[in-house]
Amino acid sequence: MAANFTCIPILDYSQVASPATRPVFVAQLRHALINVGFLYLSNPPVAQDNIQSLIDYVPKLFALPQHEKDKIRMANSEHFLGYSALGRELTKGKTDQREQFDLATEYQNPWKPGAPEYLRLWGPSQWPDESLLPGFKSTMLCYLTQVEKLSYEFITLLSEAFGLAPDALDLFFDKSPSGMQHRGKVVKYPALDSVASNQGVGPHYDAGFLTFLLQVSPHPGLQVQNLSGEWIDAPPIPGTFVVNIGKALEAVTQGLARATSHRVLSPPTGSTPRYSIPFFQNIRQEIRLSEVHLEFPPEILKLKEQRGEVRATDSVNFSEYDRLPSGEVTLIGRIKSHPDVAQNHYHELFKQIFPDGSPEHGSAY
């Protein structure tokens, strides 16, 4: 089988419910996880009317007066949650040309001085004033809760695809009430004529286990890197999520599930902006992936050998999962991409990572 993919498979979630079609879904999932690292998911179990209301809010969210957006800027938040103006984020040391709101599932942070710093990473979101955007907060939270549920269902399917027990990956999640926080973002990529480069977001891997991306507007721009380093387009397909694998899941599956390098190019000159809403599934922050050993059946491991190794990639982030607790790996990634937040809230780590001060044109990766 040609492991060096040139297109991204489309899986139909409605096949999961019936015993007759579930094995078809699971087989396609196995292929997508091992050989591609990306897939489209059609018929996801998330209410269409909720998705549509959320989509309707997106341009209004970015159209809020600048001072209202600045009131909830990420630099206020030790949890790296809130608004990032255009040009405030770095990937591979270069400025990303996007504007975004990081908004997570609800979580009360019990951190006390003396506990590891990375446990400060989860906490309450900063929401725009309710009177300016009535109903936005509840719509976004309802959306995040549904995608969270889907993300757990997907983990069970993934275990099945890899020949593991259905609960083999449960140890990565604390499913008690408010035991976990997962993060979402609402992102705007302005057209090339109003930004300084075409780096909407530079080449990178995602952090945790799974990402569920809603491509809100019809713009292409998302690209995925195959094994030989070619960039393959992943244009929006209405009614689907794009699902991809984070670096933590790759590490703990011994590379069976591929974390695939991806990027977004800015829309061309004269275009309207591109909008997207990713959801990032986290894992427990204290867990060290190096201490978890999953037993995969030999026939599954053989599929990885058949795929071969990645021959070229432009992404380098989140390589520390082989030694550090997962929360610390995420914190390092957040500090490198949002040094202004780190400068306000994580002085020691900021100094370690940026001994010469805040990077003008970053050199963190």
Ligand X SMILES: O=C(O)CCC(=O)C(=O)O
| 92 touches 361 (CB < 8 A) | no
- Chosen residue from 187, 252, 259, 265 binding ligand X by CB under 6 A: 187
Q: Which residue is nearest to Fe ion (CB)?
A: 206
What track of x and - describes contact with ligand X for positions 57 through 96 (by CB under 6 A)? ----------------------------------------
213 binds, among ligand X, Fe ion, none (CB under 5 to 8 A by kind): ligand X
Minimum gap (Å) between residue 206 Cβ and ligand X: 5
Q: Which residues pair with 274 in a beta bridge?
A: 189
The size of the interface with ligand X (CB under 6 A), counted in residues, is 10
Q: Which residues contact 289 (CB under 8 A, 6 or more apart)?
A: 248, 251, 252, 321, 322, 326
187 binds, among ligand X, Fe ion, none (CB under 5 to 8 A by kind): ligand X
264 binds, among Fe ion, ligand X, none (CB under 5 to 8 A by kind): ligand X
Q: Residues 136, 137, 142, CA angle at the centre, nearest 5°?
A: 100
How far is Cα 196 from Cα 191, in angstroms, rounded to an integer? 10
Minimum gap (Å) between residue 85 Cβ and ligand X: 16
* Secondary structure class of 22 (helix, strand, coil): helix
- Chosen residue from 213, 224, 289, 332 binding ligand X by CB under 6 A: 213
- Chosen residue from 201, 259, 283, 342 binding ligand X by CB under 6 A: 201
How far is Cα 343 from Cα 357, in angstroms, rounded to an integer? 9
By CB under 6 A, tell whether 262 contacts ligand X: yes
35 binds, among ligand X, Fe ion, none (CB under 5 to 8 A by kind): none
Taking each continuous run of H as one helix and of E as one strand, the counts in the chain are 9, 14
Give residue 125's identity as a one-letter amino acid code: S
